Chains A and B, each alone.
Chain A
């Protein structure tokens, strides 16, 4: 059995009065694709911030890529963990182009006061090619559509040459076509690079087929774990979203795209 690259034991995280994670334990092996599902406020994003060292642990232990995380030492770890957030609201006047934004992914690797070299720009161009955005490389970042911005975010993440790929609802607020394109891109990246991937979503139709294991979260706890086919039953979804099974069935059949 391969080693766990993410090993979370009894993690508790709180933001002022709200407890976001209540004793969460999770192990993720090298090359795994894990989907994290739950309603809004279930603690999914907090789980990702615990993995990249930005979440503030109240108690518990987190070991990622062999680093035991403690307050203030997540800095070097983050250089190896790629993070794609939801579509950001970027000012259309922002004076940065697509290529420069992708280069930000390499800044952590380069270290303080080191300028990007020719090789770094080559990596950036290669990643833009991979996500199909080379033709927009010189376009101001604020002029892109939501789907294009998410492709750029994925290219930035890959330019970082990460060992772990975290995606936090990357398809939220995108149209159906853009959602499908991003999901296909994420699947292809996982397939070709075998990157350990954690994919958070509240939308069941946005779970890539590459997902080998699903973690269900509710009220800051892991409520269920297993293969998508076994776990995502109508009974489980009804309990996860506090909804009668008949209502879950109705909604799933009503959704013509499901």
Chain B
């Protein structure tokens, strides 16, 4: 019997595909809007929320979704109004969420295996209902990007400019944050709370190095996301190591290669030279 005939492997392959597409599409927003700090806070908040659910006995995914949106609702406006620098938000919320996560884990009675699964992620134990949830989220993410592409394009380019031409850029931003929360929640069990943000950021950051077209950035990011998921899954299966870690390491290697071979590095060098010349005038 081929390994692909087992349902757990079919689920894992589908999860890697859907999670790769959803996470890396969200990642394009994170990269273009320069808001990794919000993403980091949201993903760790989701982890803490899921553990809260496990501890108090309600669905961990509901806890993850609510707490990640709560983190976005707190950090987003504070950073937006300039009351808190992005670095400070990350410092405070990130450590608070990790602290809460470990607190909930400590308070949890009995075995901690469920909690550890949320920490490291386990794509090979995903059920069909996990896959269905992820499929719904992935279709929602891709569908909304296609339908509202021009509004999204304007908002991620420059939010104030988008507002000034009559685009509801604030609603678009909140929509993006909502989708980020939904994607993190749906992928949490597969990749793990600590590592999930890398799957969001790395494929999109790699795509950003390679093209000056926003459409291609989305497509390349999705491709890199799926590739990271499938390659990570393969390594996880072959070497019997945690899948979250192999997925994240693969996505990091893809980013590294994209950064090394990026045609945009020439621009950076050209700018550095121009600045140096101006400085020596």
Q: Does B168 contact A (CB under 8 A)?
A: yes
* 8 Å CB contact of B165 from A88, A92, A104, A116: A104
| A75, B164: Cβ atoms closer than 8 Å | no
Q: Across the interface, do B214 and A93 meet the contact criterion of CB distance under 8 Å? A: no
Within 8 A of B (CB), among A79-135: 79, 81, 83, 85, 88, 90-97, 100-101, 104-105, 107-110, 112-113, 115-116
Query: How would you classify the secondary structure of chain B's contact residues: helix, strand, loop or mixed?
Result: helix
**Interchain CB contact under 8 A, A93 and B151:** no
Q: Which residues of B contact A113 (CB under 8 A)?
A: 147-148
Q: Which of B142-185 contact A (CB under 8 A)?
A: 147-148, 150-151, 153-154, 157-158, 160-168
Does B112 make an interface contact (CB < 8 A)? no
How many residues on chain B are close to A (CB under 8 Å)? 31
Nearest A-chain residue to B267, judged by Cβ:
A92
User: Cβ of B151: which chain A residues have Cβ within 8 Å of it?
Assistant: 107, 112
The answer to whether B212 touches A97 (Cβ under 8 A) is: yes
Which residues of B, 257-278, contact A by the 8 Å Cβ criterion? 264, 267-268, 271
Residues on A with C-beta less than 8 A from B150 are 107, 110, 115-116
In the complex the two chains form, what is the Cα distance from A116 to B211 in whole Å? Answer: 22
Say yes or no: A78-B165 contact (C-beta < 8 A), given A96-B153, A97-B212: yes
Q: Which residue of A lies closest to B216 (CB)?
A: A95
Which residues from B are CB-within-8-Å of A116? 150
Indicate whether A40 reaches chain B with its CB closer than 8 angstroms. Answer: no
Most buried by B among A76, A96, A100, A110: A96
The CA of A204 and the CA of B162, in the complex, are separated in Å by 30
- In the assembled complex, the CB of B153 is this many whole angstroms from the nearest CB of chain A, namely 7
Given the complex of chains A and B, what is the CA–CA distance between A92 and B164 in angstroms?
A: 23
**How far is B162's CA from A78's CA once the two chains are assembled, in angstroms?**
10
Q: Once the chains are docked, how many angstroms separate the CA of A94 from the CA of B161?
A: 15
Contacting residue for A78 out of B32, B163, B264, CB 8 A: B163
Q: CB of B65 within 8 A of chain A?
A: no
Beta-carbon contact of A104 and B162 below 8 Å: yes
User: Is B167 in contact with A52, judged by CB distance below 8 angstroms?
Assistant: no
- Cβ 8 A contact of B166, one of A76, A88, A91: A76
Whole-angstrom CA separation of A109 from B165 in the bound complex: 8
In the complex, residue of chain A having the shortest beta-carbon distance to the beta carbon of B271: A92
A90 → B minimal CB distance (Å): 8
Give bound CA distance, A52 to B162, whole Å. Answer: 13
**B208 in complex: contacting residue of A81, A93, A107, CB < 8 Å:** A93
Give the docked Cα–Cα distance between A110 and B153 (Å): 14
Contacts of B267 in A (CB 8 A): 92-93, 142-143
B213 within 8 A of partner (CB): yes
Task: Scan A142-181; emit 1 where CB is below 8 A from any B CB, else 0.
Answer: 1100000000000010001000000000000000000000
Give the Cβ gap from A88 to chain B, nearest Cβ, in Å: 7
| B225: min CB distance to chain A, Å | 17
* B contact residues vs A (CB 8 Å cutoff): 32, 34, 147-148, 150-151, 153-154, 157-158, 160-168, 208-209, 211-214, 216-217, 264, 267-268, 271
Q: Which residue numbers of A lie inside 8 Å of B, CB to CB?
A: 52, 54, 75-79, 81, 83, 85, 88, 90-97, 100-101, 104-105, 107-110, 112-113, 115-116, 140, 142-143, 156, 160
* 20 pairs of residues in contact across A and B, judged by CB atoms under 8 Å: A77-B166, A78-B164, A90-B158, A93-B212, A94-B157, A94-B212, A96-B153, A96-B157, A96-B214, A97-B212, A104-B153, A105-B165, A107-B162, A107-B167, A108-B165, A109-B166, A112-B168, A115-B150, A143-B267, A156-B165
Beyond A92-B268, A93-B208: 12 further Cβ-contacts under 8 Å? A83-B161, A85-B164, A88-B158, A94-B157, A95-B217, A96-B214, A104-B162, A107-B162, A108-B167, A113-B147, A116-B150, A156-B165
